[in-house]
Structure 1
Amino acid sequence: MRLAILAYDQISPFMLSTPLAVFGEPFLASGHRVEVCAAQRRISATGGLTIEAPLPLAAAREADIVILPGWRDANERVPAAITSELRAAEARGAMVVGLCLGAFGLAEARLLDGRRATTHWACVETFATRYPEVSVDAGALFVDEGQVLTSAGIASGLDCCLHLLGRISGAAEANRVARHLVVAPQRAGPQPQLIARPAIGNTSDRRITDVLEALRADPAAPPTLDELAHRAGMSRRSLTRHIRARTGGNLGEWLRRVRLARAQELLAGGTRGLEDVAARCGFPDAAALRTAFRTELGVTPRQWLARQRVD
């Protein structure tokens, strides 16, 4: 699959690197072709950097997926040279993605009219006022509307890109890349944008990481909260507080998402029989698995599986 990333003057190197990290790293087994396109050959980037874009914007017209990674200022309109490429991509059936303030570009191109979308929390009010035709989900990490996707601020672009990788290459590939990037593969779109996170590297954080990684490895039959607290060397209350700070919710919510991610891996890998998948992932039965899919993803397992390959 061919992906085009639209670069522009004064781009954030982090925003540009987000889709490159997910789709363009050498460890990616899916073989996607990733190209950076810009209106001019040499563009400036924040931090005093200069970037040479290998291809003109027009090269994006052959892409299956077109990504606008952020925008430099919410108060500055995205230029027609970029919005026209976004419209052309949507018109020919390509997927279009706006990361962070890139949602402003998609809205300016009228691709979000009548659709749900999100953007950086600090610019939600500006976005909603300027584009009243868009249904703004201020709390989501990313919003998948099928052909059009938007993400919230900065790091949530990784979540959106990993989700997109899961759609085009399967959940197993997305989870594998997430582990290489050392990011959580289970962060779902509806998860809140603003989550307090502990400083990386302290002892408590490492112990919580060990507990969560053990549960991720075998989510089917987790120990009780008391057993987990004993394993982590802390009280139930302290464990619960640390888990909420790390995941944005309680242990049950996080574990449901982990089980769902495992179910996605099994289904994408060809496992058949929802009862078997449910048992292997820790769901009581197939009905509970279907409920989890509808609650977290808004689709049934069958519908989700049908969307995993983009023509």
Structure 2
Amino acid sequence: MKKPASPPEKSPLVCAIAYDGLCTFEFGIAVELFALPRPEFENWYRFATVKAEHGPIRATGGITIEADGDLELLEDASLIIVPGWRGAYTPVPEPLCAALRAAYDRGARIASICSGVFVLAASGLLSGKSATTHWRYTDLLAKRFPDVTVDPDVLFVEGDRVFTSAGSAAGLDLGLHIIRQDYGAQVAASVARRLVLPAQRDGGQRQFVPRPEPKARAGSSLAQLQDRIRATINESWPLERMARVAATSGRTLTRRFNEETGTTPSSWLKLERVSRAAELLEDGTIPLSDVWEVCGFGSAETFRREFRKMMGVPPVRYRERLGAPAI
């Protein structure tokens, strides 16, 4: 049995970086997780908002932030959080990059939420490491920083005291993960309950299920075929049947699917089945044991295998994290 985490002897200092154009939601995540008073615990974090640069700090929504201090505060930080950034192409001030590198060299942990990953990458803290960010930015991150291994599918990545999370709300998952490391599973679960969140979502869970949509005009034969398949997703749909319904050959249908969706008919069908299964698991009204048949997987084993491959977690875990009963 894994030994429970021992609470830190001294309350760790968590510093959130504030900048003009601050992402309000991402900053709020850091505040909610690490700054909110928690008298139910004997020991908790200290928290400080750190000004990244000179000038006003205006946040999304018309809010102005009054920071606790400047970059010198990072000298005592145990954890530094970069809650987003004002633009993927916006230059990162060198003093901020230097302060982050110095803090890391002193042993501090550095974490980013969503687009904050561009600050970490600009600082050189991700060179040779794996990282993630919001799925909208993963291609851009990989293009701008080829020395970073970008994982577009996961909720968060941890490696050598550097943490990166996917889009906004994934910062909650990352924060709970860090709290779990510092104070143990029971404390993290208590924080999650207060947030009305599942106690733990695996970092490897996919951010979303991509559903390729046809570029063809509504009413085209391919769109009509896809609509018919969705309406009868529980039935068997081999390529021969698809081609017959579309009044074409299997080779022509495969070519058209590739042109209009970027994938094959069979791959598209698997995505549709998994997407439908995810909807049913989220709804929670159909027994888990029936989902595979309703979605046309052919067997429970095939359902579990394909769902986990695309979603990163097994069906039962997916339903549990949403708080739905595994009926």
Q: Please list the CA deviations of residues 125-184 of structure 1 after superposition, one character each: whole Å capped at 9, or x if unmatched.
A: 111011111111111110010311001111111111111111111121111101110122
Runs of 4+ in 1 over 6 A off after TM superposition: 255-258
Deviation at 1:251, TM superposition (A): 3.2
Q: TM-score, normalised by structure 1?
A: 0.65
Q: 1:132 to 1:225 in 2, by over 3 A?
A: closer
In the alignment, structure 2 segments of 5+ residues that lack a partner are 1-11, 211-274, 276-280, 323-327
| Aligned with 1:70 (options 84, 104, 118) | 84
SS of residue in 2 equivalent to 1:52: coil
Give the counterpart letter for 2:37 in structure 1. Answer: P
Give the counterpart letter for 2:18 in structure 1. Answer: A
Deviation at 1:13, TM superposition (A): 1.1
Identity %: 36
Within 5 Å, give how 1:1-311 maps onto structure 2.
1-27=12-38, 29=41, 30-38=43-51, 39-40=53-54, 42-194=56-208, 225=288, 237=294, 250-254=314-318
SS of residue in 2 equivalent to 1:121: coil
Aligned equivalents of 1:189, 1:235: Cα separation in 2: 25
Deviation at 1:24, TM superposition (A): 1.6
Q: 1:225 to 1:119 in 2, by over 3 A?
A: closer
Aligned equivalents of 1:235, 1:98: Cα separation in 2: 37
Aligned equivalents of 1:61, 1:172: Cα separation in 2: 30
Aligned equivalents of 2:293, 2:200: Cα separation in 1: 23
Deviation at 1:67, TM superposition (A): 1.0
Give the counterpart letter for 1:178 in structure 2. Answer: A
Give the counterpart letter for 1:183 in structure 2. Answer: L
Q: Please list the CA deviations of residues 30-77 of structure 1 after superposition, one character each: whole Å capped at 9, or x if unmatched.
A: 411011010347410112221111211221111111111110100112
Q: 1:76 to 1:235 in 2, by over 3 A?
A: closer
Q: 1:141·1:156 contact (CA, 8 Å) conserved in 2? A: yes
SS of residue in 2 equivalent to 1:132: coil
The number of aligned residues is 231
Report the RMSD for the aligned CA atoms in angstroms. Answer: 3.4
Q: 1:55 to 1:195 in 2, by over 3 A?
A: farther
In the alignment, structure 1 segments of 5+ residues that lack a partner are 199-203, 212-223, 259-311
Q: TM-score, normalised by structure 2?
A: 0.62
